[in-house]
Structure formats: structure tokens, C-alpha cells
């Protein structure tokens, strides 16, 4: 519920409030629209990669995390495009379905199908014991390396803009950070109200708070260009997400309950 019925809309609200109202004296209307678009793309889907790290660090249930991420991937196939179309349409930005559809196929469908087929092939050819004891441990460093490579490429292309526009970076970071903390605390309180165990409540809150930034950055660049305000907003989201999520891990462990 939080991931798909609340989070995208609160992100759009915070972006609209800050970029068009509170920041009106410092940001032009055209640039505000691009920043809003980038924020909407960030908030339109929950993270499906780094949440495994946050779940592990917070002591969450890995099985629950895997199931939740898998469900989110399937929901993303259906809801990501309509949500982005709706929210960007409200702000007056027309987005072609083709670009959104291609991005979802490349970043969600292809990895999902490839992972499923690889899993089935390896289980049949090598056995489940080998898959769990040899293949998965060997794959973990590769996933971290791929993530770091993605971050390096992002900042290689946007690093100069970050250095040249420090004020804009701070202005963008504030509503994005506020959204992350808001969704985390909302999900946490909801989990406690539903009497979920800590090992479920913690990763659920982490998943809700984090963003599918790889997809957001790709769509922003494809739609608005590498040097656009939308692309910059998504990169700022990447820049602040890791330290904020580490802080949320610490909060979760401080609030740990039995």
C-alpha cells in the first residue's frame, strides 16, 4: 500500500510544494518543472537492489525481503507507467509511453526473465545445493561491483554540475530527504500498528523509503537529456540515498523490539 498508493503521491506533493512554492524566489518555473519530474521518477517505484543490503544491516528477514522485492517487481510492470503518466500529466508534462515502456523492459523485464531462466538452468544442471553454496556466494561481490560501477558512471557525467551548482543540489536534496524519512516513519508506525515482527517491519520500512534510482535516472536521461534538471534531481537522489538509508538502519536497530 505504502509503496504504490502513498509514496509516489507524497513525493509529487513534496516536490510541488518545495520547487514551485517555497523555492519560487530561487528557481525558475521551467527548472522547477524539471526538478519535479525527476523527483516523481524517483518516487514512482521502490528500490529492488540495495534493499537487500539495508535489510541485512538492520537484521531483517531475508526471505520476506526477497518476496517483497519480487512482488514489487511484478507490480512495477503494471503500475509504474500509469503512475508516472498521471503525476507528470498533472504537472503539465507530456511523456510518451514508448520511452517508459522501453525503460521498464530493459531495467525490469530483461533482468527478471534472465534471472529466472538462469536459476532454472543452474538448478537442473548443477543442483540446488551447488547453487546455494557456490553460485550465490560468488555472485554477491559482482552485484556490489556493478552497483559501484553504476554510481561511478553517474557521478562521472554529473560530477561537474554538482560542483558548479551546490545551492541547487541542497535545494533538491531537502524535499527528497524529507520524503525518505517520512515514508520510513509512516511504514514503521503502520507495521507496529499491525503488530508485525521486527524482522518484517524493518525491511518493509527500508523498501518503502528507498527508490529505484537506476530506473529513474535512465528514464530522466531518455526523456529530458543528460544535462536536464530532471536528470540532476535523480542523481541527487542517488547522492543522498546511501547516507540516509544508513541512518535509517541505525534508527531501526535502535528501535528494535521483540
pLDDT in tens, 141-164: 776 677 677 777 777 777 777 788
Pick 2-254's CATH classification: 1.20.140.10, 3.40.1260.10, 1.10.357.10, 1.20.1530.20: 1.20.1530.20
- Count H helices, E strands: the chain? 12, 0
Spans of all domains in the chain: 2-254
122, three cell numbers: 543452474
- Tell me the average pLDDT of the chain: 89
Mean pLDDT of 100-119: 83
Mean pLDDT of 30-45: 94
Residue 204 pLDDT exceeds 70: yes
Determine the pLDDT at residue 40: 96
Determine the pLDDT at residue 193: 96
Determine the pLDDT at residue 143: 65
183, three cell numbers: 515514508
CB atoms closer than 10 angstroms to residue 138: 9
Determine the pLDDT at residue 258: 80
Q: Residue 136 and residue 253: Cα distance in Å, rounded?
A: 27
pLDDT band at 245 (very low <50, low <70, confident <90, very high): very high
Residue 215 pLDDT exceeds 80: yes
Determine the pLDDT at residue 200: 96
Residue 12 pLDDT exceeds 80: yes
For 166, counting Cβ atoms within 10 Å of its Cβ (0-12 exposed, 13-18 middle, 19+ buried), the class is exposed
pLDDT band at 182 (very low <50, low <70, confident <90, very high): very high
Q: What angle do CA 70, 209, 80 make, to 5 degrees?
A: 55
Determine the pLDDT at residue 213: 85
First-to-final CA distance of the chain: 24
Residue 60 pLDDT exceeds 70: yes
Cβ contacts of residue 190 below 8 Å, gap of 6+?
Answer: 2
Determine the pLDDT at residue 208: 92
Say what percent of the chain tops pLDDT 90.
51
pLDDT digits (tens, 9 = 90+) for 113-139: 888 898 889 888 988 888 778 887 777
Mean pLDDT of 27-45: 94
For 15, counting Cβ atoms within 10 Å of its Cβ (0-12 exposed, 13-18 middle, 19+ buried), the class is buried
85, three cell numbers: 503518466
> For 97-103, which contacts have Cβ atoms below 8 Å and span 24 or more sequence positions?
99/219, 99/222, 99/223, 100/219, 102/222, 103/215, 103/218, 103/219, 103/222
Q: Residue 88 and residue 90: Cα distance in Å, rounded?
A: 5
Amino acid at each position: 500500500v505504502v509503496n504504490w498508493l502513498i509514496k509516489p503521491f507524497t513525493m509529487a506533493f513534496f516536490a510541488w510544494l518545495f520547487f514551485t512554492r517555497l523555492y519560487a524566489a530561487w528557481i525558475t518555473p521551467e527548472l522547477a518543472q524539471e526538478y519535479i519530474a525527476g523527483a516523481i521518477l524517483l518516487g514512482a517505484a521502490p528500490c529492488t537492489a540495495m534493499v537487500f543490503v539495508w535489510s541485512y544491516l538492520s537484521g531483517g528477514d531475508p526471505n520476506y525481503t526477497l518476496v517483497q522485492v519480487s512482488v514489487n517487481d511484478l507490480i512495477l510492470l503494471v503500475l509504474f507507467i500509469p503512475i508516472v503518466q498521471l503525476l507528470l500529466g498533472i504537472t503539465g508534462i507530456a511523456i510518451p509511453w514508448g520511452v517508459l515502456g522501453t525503460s521498464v523492459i530493459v531495467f525490469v523485464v530483461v533482468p527478471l526473465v534472465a534471472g529466472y531462466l538462469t536459476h532454472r538452468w543452474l538448478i537442473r544442471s548443477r543442483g540446488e545445493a551447488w547453487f546455494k553454496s557456490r553460485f550465490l556466494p560468488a555472485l554477491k561481490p559482482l552485484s556490489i561491483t556493478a552497483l559501484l560501477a553504476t554510481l561511478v558512471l553517474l557521478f562521472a557525467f554529473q560530477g561537474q554540475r554538482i560542483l558548479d551548482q551546490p545551492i541547487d543540489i541542497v535545494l533538491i536534496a531537502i524535499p527528497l530527504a524529507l520524503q525518505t524519512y517520512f515514508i520510513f516513519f509512516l511504514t514503521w508506525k503502520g507495521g507496529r500498528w499491525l503488530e508485525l515482527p521486527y524482522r518484517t517491519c524493518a525491511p518493509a520500512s527500508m523498501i518503502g523509503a528507498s527508490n529505484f534510482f537506476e530506473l529513474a535516472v535512465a528514464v530522466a536521461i531518455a526523456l529530458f537529456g543528460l544535462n536536464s534538471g530532471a536528470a540532476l534531481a535523480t542523481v541527487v537522489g542517488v547522492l543522498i540515498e546511501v547516507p540516509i538509508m544508513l541512518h535509517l538502519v541505525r534508527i531501526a536497530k535502535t528501535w528494535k523490539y521483540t
